[in-house]
Chain A
Amino acid sequence: MDQNKPQEEDYGYNLFPERNSGKFQKGSIAESLFTFNHKCQVMLQFAMETSKLTVLSCLFSAVYKDRHFSCEDCDGTVSGGFDATSSQIVLCQNNIHQQSHMNRVVTHELIHAFDHCRAHVDWFNNFKHLACSEIRAANLSGDCSFHNEVSRFNFGLKKHHQECVRGRALRSILAVRKVSREEAEKVVDEVFDTCFNDHAPFGRIPHDKKDANFAYRDFENRDRYYANL
């Protein structure tokens, strides 16, 4: 998309100051034991073991906690991000304090990682690609579950999930790209139908543990399934 932007685009890297230094540093032992970083690492380990995530991380069993995840301090209220240049998921140790939140953020970012792994996603230049992945991540991670929406005081029922997905995808785009709200809304509208209905790798929207377990069962059964179609 060719545009003359008044501000230089930084692709959202300002939210993750530890990435901007260009160095990937390991902290001291004291730092790792007694800080948010340690708590983040522990919660991440736990999150990797829950069922929804098992589907994703098994699907490309090439996701390694030490290589593809990083616990860092972030700006503002952002909870995490996916850094396509290093194929790493960033978890904001200063903004994630509950296990359930960690689970959700890891699932959300794994969906971005999954999209990056399976498709030629042009994160930096193609807004449709960015919007699509954000729609999918909001849709499939549990970000927009009834429970989470109620806890944000967003009380809606009929088709509210879709409204939530649209809204959160929009917010995510506006957080990392310097575009107008109208532009972002336009792009989300353009790709919404396609991307809302793309449920890979689950085959369904996993609303609860049972859905996730059924999706995992389908994954385990995939060889038999495709051989007998």
Chain B
Amino acid sequence: QPPRTCDDYWSEFRHCKSLWNRFHNYYAHGTSPSCGQWKEDYYSCREWEKNPGPETKESLQQSERNREAEQRKFTPVWDLRRDPPRDWHMPLHQGKSPDSQS
């Protein structure tokens, strides 16, 4: 099935084009938002539902992979953990020094 429901693509497109979103985009980035990809993805999604073949899937999947890549294109300043910190759930102790390193 497509990564998102087709309605989700359409609602993202509408949200992207909305006045508020255009305002927020200008306020944060100084530009108008680019919304065309959501619309394209919506049509690809509909196509996928009608004719689920490798070509129709590939177009939508590639678009989503690009979206993911955009989110990850900056080198992080820190290393990610594999598990949460060991002491995350440990109970608080009376008399524990606040300067102690975890």
Contact = CB atoms under 8 A, between A and B. Distances in A.
Q: Real complex partners, A and B? A: yes
Interface of A: 11, 13, 19-20, 22-24, 60, 62, 67, 83-88, 115-122, 124, 128-129, 132, 146, 157-162, 191, 193-195, 197-199, 203, 205, 207-208, 210-211, 214, 217, 221, 224-226, 228-229
Interface string B73-84: 111111111001
A17 to B, nearest CB: 11
A195 B78 CA distance: 11
A225 B4 contact: yes
Given A13-B98, A23-B95, A205-B24, 10 more contacts: A85-B99, A88-B92, A118-B84, A120-B81, A132-B78, A157-B26, A159-B27, A161-B28, A198-B74, A214-B11
Interface of B: 1-4, 8, 11-12, 15, 20-21, 23-24, 26-30, 61, 64-65, 68, 71, 73-81, 84-85, 87-89, 91-102
Contacts of B78: 115, 119-122, 129, 132
A229 B74 contact: no
Contacts of B23: 146
Contacts of B71: 197, 199, 203
B26 A221 contact: no
A1 to B, nearest CB: 14
30 contacts: A13-B98, A20-B98, A85-B98, A86-B92, A86-B102, A116-B85, A117-B81, A118-B80, A119-B79, A119-B81, A120-B78, A120-B80, A120-B81, A122-B78, A124-B101, A128-B77, A132-B77, A158-B27, A159-B29, A161-B27, A161-B29, A162-B28, A195-B77, A197-B73, A197-B74, A205-B28, A224-B1, A225-B3, A225-B4, A228-B3
